[in-house]
Amino acid sequence: MSEIQYKLVRCTINGEKRETMVDVRASLTDMLRNDYRLTSVKKGCEVGECGACNVIIDGECFNSCIYLAVWADGKEIRTLESLMGPDGELSDIQQAFIDETAVQCGFCTPGVIMSAVEILESGKEYTRDELRKLLSGHLCRCTGYENILNAVEKTMHKRLEGR
């Protein structure tokens, strides 16, 4: 390894403009966890198979473990930490995860919720099977996925009714 190579990464994280010098070898997971202490971004496999590190970049979900931090330059990134309101109020999908007992060990939860956010923000109505497919980039060993589906499905219906 020769000299460590750094790059200035300017991006918007959870609505705020941020910039930091990043080791080009870093994954986006590394940057979010280490530089910004956004520890909702979890490490479960580091090869894009489990979905625990999922974040939203420019409106689409990505496993941040296999996304180079330098690619985040100029992008808008959202993590689970962005969902809570200014006075500490939970978003509807977070509340639904509590109400539907969709949380057990909680380690896959942040990533799954971010996929749910992308699904819900599409404003579309999906069947349960379609939701299964849209969430299928996440592995969970605790819930059998059942209550997670309930939480996402109920929140989707609530939002559609509320329009």
- Chain positions 14 to 43 lying near other proteins, rule: CB under 8 A, are 23-27, 30, 34, 38-40, 42-43
Strand partners, 68: 27
Contacting other proteins (CB under 8 A), which of 9, 11, 13, 61?
A: 61
Least Å distance, CB 9 to other proteins, is 12
Contact indicator for 20, 31 with CB cutoff of 8 Å: yes
Residue 76 as a binder of other proteins (CB under 8 A): the answer is no
Residue 127 as a binder of other proteins (CB under 8 A): the answer is no
Two structure tokens written together for 109 = 């939860």
Question: Which among 8-16, 100-108, 155-163 is the span making contact with other proteins, rule CB under 8 A?
Answer: 100-108
Strand order in the sheet with 16-23: 16-23, 6-13, 76-78, 54-57, 60-63
Number of chain positions touching other proteins (CB under 8 A): 74
Cα(152)–Cα(11) distance, rounded to whole angstroms? 29
C-alpha separations of 89 from 4, 34, 86, 98, 117 in Å: 42, 26, 7, 13, 16
Cα(132)–Cα(147) distance, rounded to whole angstroms? 12
Residue 5 as a binder of other proteins (CB under 8 A): the answer is yes
- Radius of gyration over every alpha carbon of the chain, rounded to an integer in angstroms: 16
Residue 84 as a binder of other proteins (CB under 8 A): the answer is yes
Residue 99 as a binder of other proteins (CB under 8 A): the answer is yes
- Closest CB to other proteins among residues 98, 160: 98
Cα(16)–Cα(148) distance, rounded to whole angstroms? 29
Contacting other proteins (CB under 8 A), which of 12, 14, 20, 104?
A: 104
Residue 137 as a binder of other proteins (CB under 8 A): the answer is yes
Contacting other proteins (CB under 8 A), which of 77, 78, 115, 120?
A: 115
